[in-house]
Amino acid sequence: MHATITTPFVDTRAADLGYALDQPRLDALEVLTVGPLELRLLGASHQAVLRIDGREHSEVVACLADAGDPLPARHDRPWGTAGYRFRSAVETLAPARFARRAAQLRDRYRIAEHALVCEFGGLDDAMTILVAEPTGLGWQTWHSYPQTGELVCTRSAVLGRAGHPSAEPQPARGIARPAVSAGGPSGPSTAIPAPEGARTR
């Protein structure tokens, strides 16, 4: 699914992203629902809401004043009877390479079944891409910052549940050619992209 958002692009840079878990639902501009998962586009990035064992859990990655802790490179914790795993990486690119990478991601996911590609008006290649696994037990996001040439990728998974592997994700080279998950080409890869030149946080 593809959407153009008229809301001005307000996120400034990757360093401003905050990270918080189990926050109340925030107002969303667009929502992608896959099974027990809602991927919610915010004016400042995303919120994932997942229902497990009759309870809602959430992940927020956003440039909000009260968004919580700085964005970690990795975080693991229990979610009910399941395990939650979060990984992130930041890639900084020269303008021409940034534009090519943004175009590759846009073209790959704008027609994918379980993906939401949102472009913000007023700034070329300012976008957020949210991709869910077909089971709803994993998701991957990209947040682009054209003014700084930064591309932030996050990968989240709920482990120990039927329909999702429990293996530790291994880094993959290249965002443009992510590995295809067992759920098919519309789902995200099982590893967070960590392209050459990327810096992890």
What are the pLDDT digits (tens) for 163-197?
A: 454 434 333 333 333 332 333 333 333 344 433 33
Q: 71-104, pLDDT tens digit by residue?
A: 999 999 998 888 999 999 999 999 999 999 999 9
pTM: 0.78
pLDDT at 111: 86
10 Å CB burial of residue 132 (0-12, 13-18, 19+) is buried
The gap from C-alpha 110 to its chain's centroid, in whole angstroms, comes to: 14
pLDDT at 161: 61
Radius of gyration of the chain (CA): 15
**CA dihedral of 191, 198, 64, 77, whole degrees rounded to 10:** 40
Report which secondary-structure segment, H or E, holds 100: helix 95-109
Report, as an integer, the average pLDDT of 22-49: 92
pLDDT at 90: 96
Distance (Å, whole) CA 161 – CA 140: 18
Instruction: Report which DSSP code applies to 147.
Output: T
Report, as an integer, the average pLDDT of 34-57: 91
| 82-92 and 150-159 strand pairing | antiparallel
Residue 130: what residue type?
Answer: L
> Could you tell me which of 70, 73, 69 has the C-alpha nearest to residue 87?
73
Distance (Å, whole) CA 178 – CA 131: 12
pLDDT at 10: 63
